[in-house]
Structure 1
Amino acid sequence: MSTDGIKVYKFGGASVKSAEAFRNAARIVKTHGGERQLLLVVSAMGKTTNALEQAMDLAYRQQDFEPEYQRIKAYHEEVLAELFPAPDNPARQRVAQLFEVLHSTLQHTSPHASYDMAYDQAVSYGELISSALLHHFLQDQGLANAWVDSREYIKTDSTWREARLDWPLTERLIKRDLPPLLRQQLVVTQGFLGGTGEGLTTTLGREGSDFSAAIFAYCLDAAEMCIWKDVEGLLNADPKHFPDTVCYPEISFQETVEMAYYGASVIHPKTIKPLANKQIPLYVKSFLNPEGRGTKICDCRFDKIAPAYIIKENQCLISFSVKDFTFVSEKNLGTIFKALADLRIKMNLMQNSAISFSICADFHQERLQRLIQTLSDQFIIHYNTGLTLYTVKNYDAASLARVMDGKEVLLEQRTRNTCQIVTR
């Protein structure tokens, strides 16, 4: 890993889930990062985002969110008390203030407002709180750092929960303010969050903290970016499903982009492009074993690499047929694609025959019903839910047999390097 130039470290929820995790993150910063020229991007602690989603959903439906809110608060206060025993410590006061604002935000959540807009305003507090906590803890450890509100730098439109970046403005703001700060000290900021011109909070999509880190790395012309995970590096499969995983020591930007596109959980799909555009190497390393080699993602080429297994559960297979049994034409496909885009339904797989067109997508009950309402006048629509999509990159006969064994295959599609299989 580089010792010159700016570095960007991203700490995910698992790496800041407890007091000991914060201590470990501080050790990593001291040992590997140094005291300046390092920007830290922090996710919400542990499973806080999931808990905030539940609290916000209750608030939006005008139900009692207080028990869920108190659980979230108690979890953070337990970590605070362990890291900052003195009750008058500034960290405890700062976090208490943020929880007060979160509580007020939940109280004033209106069912008449956009659900997704309300989501962004409330769920964003996970990152605001965790980054404030890390900022104060590093200060206590003798590591001078500035806490920066990423919403003032990552500027977006108002596409709630999937905000689109204003790259020119974002780059101009980051280049203007952050390099002088980084020459003097560390900078701590939040992943996942952006801000509109009107001062409202947006989010970049679930697991968007990786993308946030890549945005900062790109705009700062960083020497490298590192994501600290609870795995040894970029694995060829999820160890919960495949016990004999392989860690790639080095892999190309292109290969990683394709794996992310198909749903590999280690890297957010939008992360790689800005790094590849400026040839900024990305390291994936284990916060449990910081001295380990990890994976380097860069501009490299290999003749053959281990097959990658990517699993997406809770899938829905949707088939469209023209009502008069004519062929599915380009015009029909255009109508379907427009409806999918309008409802923000991402196709994980598509396949067409002469008289039908099928897609596999993540299952969202509300979006599926709206899709059926939109297109049922023109198409006969059938769907199956509760399915699993397997994607095998760089497949061979053995790897395909491994995922198909004992399963009912509803749809299969192969290209030269990739096979996708929908199973029940």
Structure 2
Amino acid sequence: MQQRQFLRIYKFGGASVKDAAAIGNLVRIVRQYGADQALLVVVSAMGKTTNALEALFQLAHAGQDYRAPLAELAEFHQGVAAGLELPADLLTDLLTQLQDRLATLLPADFDKQYDQVVSFGELLATRIVAGALGARWLDCRALIRTDHTWREGRVDWPTTERQLRAALPAAVLAEGPVVTQGFLGGTASGATTTLGREGSDFTAAILAYCLGAQSVTIWKDVAGLLNADPKIFPDTVRYPEISYQETIEMAYYGASVIHPKTIKPLAVRGIPLLVKSFLDPEAEGTRIHDCRHELLVPAFIRKTEQCLISFEAKDLAFISEENLEVIFGALAQVRLKIRLMQNSAISFSVCTDFSAYRLERLLDLLREQFTIHYNTGLALYTIKNYDAASIQRLTAGRELLLEQRTRQTFQFVCRGEEPS
């Protein structure tokens, strides 16, 4: 392993840069807690900008009028920049590039063009944050090399590490904070890719792995890594420390604090991940590292907008390995991720994130061979380290459409109602 640099990575998500006041708070945190050593700051799109860009992209791709929401998006970012007393023309080139992208969309290559448009959220946010900090702005698209898997680019680790170390030697990092984008990468030909929704955490881990950072700190609006989302579940508990393995499992099942791909590169090089609150920077937070602990309190995880799809062979044959191979191949082809699966003698069911576009493609591929039923508007609940009381708490009064348990994990799919 290469020698670890005197470097920390700070990652700030959308809530921490949602407006001028939030960015002012980010500036205070960086200057107070990140001034004593080299610092690389990873920034997500502001607030709900990614959602707004997705809506813009859908309108433009469908040939509909998008001028009003585009103007609203531009006005919002320009207003934040003005509130921070930044130059009036700071965002002009990026907004012009975004307008040009939207005006030249083609009917084909939906996912590729999605990446070229939605990536502007991080580009705009980092320009503003770098300006507010008086920091160097770094375009990570030229440095984090991926393949052409649009919307979930696969990282070319050797090339990425070589390029990052060349672009950010210790001498450059010692000059002051460097601000770059989360969520984004680029192909060898220069096309923009994205790393998957909420992928800025993963970006921070990529940078830490490649540059040999001492630590990564993710600044959130919660006190640390909690056993549940406090917006959904009352009486949450903070984990003061937790192991890489336990965190990977929680992230895989949908815990919203950490992106699922974040932990592995940090664990490989023994880099601790700190989860701290930007609302209370002095608070302890959570340390994720290589540690041992007793059985943790149950963790409650909810994923909404789920779809339950069931397949039956039209000839009433058993669900065989050959049938499963066809189903898995089609799911991979349309890029629907399986969150939960279960089979019986003549049927096979999967729970996936809902996408009308991808579901229709799946039906086109498989409807001749299988009878397919599906339900949308569902929720998938996972209880990690469950006990009888935690299962009773979440399942009481609900109609479970599918349930499954292993030694430490209980999952079920139900209608998408709020928990009591």
Q: TM-score range by the shorter chain?
A: over 0.9
| 382-391 vs 272-281, greater mean Cα deviation | 382-391
TM-score using structure 2 length? 0.95
> Structure 2 counterpart of 1:293, which letter?
E
1:408-419 matches, within 5 Å, as 408-419=399-410
In the other structure, the counterpart of 1:99 is 95
**Equivalent position of 2:418 in the other structure:** none
Which residue is equivalent to 1:39?
40
Within the alignment, does 1:243 sit opposite 2:234 as a pair? yes
Once residues 13 and 273 of structure 2 are traced to their aligned partners in structure 1, the CA distance between those partners, rounded to angstroms, is 15
**Over 3 Å off, 4+ runs:** none
Counterpart of 1:369 in structure 2 is 360
Is residue 317 of structure 2 the alignment partner of residue 326 of structure 1?
yes
Please show how residues 14-413 of structure 1 align to structure 2 within 5 Å: 14-34=15-35, 36-84=37-85, 89=86, 91-110=87-106, 112-139=107-134, 145-179=135-169, 180-413=171-404
* 3-state secondary structure, aligned to 2:288: strand
Between Structure 1 and Structure 2, how many residues are aligned?
411
Q: Letter of the 1:94 partner, please give it.
A: L
* Cα distance, 1:384 vs structure 2: 1.5
The 1:224/1:213 distance shift into structure 2, 3 A limit, reads same
Residues 71-114 of structure 1 show CA distances to partners (whole Å, capped at 9, x for unaligned) of 11111122111111xxxx5x43121221122112212223x231
Amino acid at match of 1:265: S
Q: Distance in 1 between matches of 2:49 and 2:318?
A: 49
Q: Which amino acid aligns with 2:126?
A: S
Amino acid in structure 2 at the alignment position of 1:133? I
Change (3 A) 1:321 1:27: same
Give the distance between the partners of 2:305 and 2:175, measured in 1 at CA.
Answer: 48
Counterpart CA distance in 1 for 2:288 and 2:70 is 39
CA–CA distance in structure 1, aligned partners of residues 56 and 363 of structure 2: 30
Residue identity over aligned pairs, in percent, reads: 58
Aligned residue for 1:339, secondary structure, equals helix
State the alpha-carbon separation in 1 of the partners of residues 346 and 242 from structure 2: 40
Contact kept? 1:237, 1:309, Cα under 8 Å: yes
Residue 142 of structure 1: aligned partner: none
Contact 1:223 1:280 (C-alpha < 8 Å) held by counterparts: yes
Distance (Å, rounded) in 2 between the aligned partners of 1:201 and 1:370 = 25
Kindly indicate whether the alpha-carbon contact (under 8 Å) linking 1:36 and 1:184 is maintained by their aligned counterparts in 2: no
Deviations 1:273-308 (A, max 9, x none): 100111100001000000011111111121211100
Kept in 2: contact 1:282–1:298 (CA 8 A) = yes
SS at match of 2:136: strand
Calculate the aligned-residue CA RMSD, in Å.
1.4
Distance (Å, rounded) in 2 between the aligned partners of 1:36 and 1:119: 37
Following superposition, the deviation at residue 323 of structure 1 comes to 2.2
1-structure distance, mates of 2:220, 2:167: 29
User: Which ranges in structure 2 are unaligned for 5 or more consecutive residues?
Assistant: 416-420
Structure 1 gaps of 5+ residues are 140-144
Question: How far apart, CA to CA, are the structure 2 residues paired with 1:292 and 1:124?
Answer: 33
Counterpart of 1:355, as a letter, is I
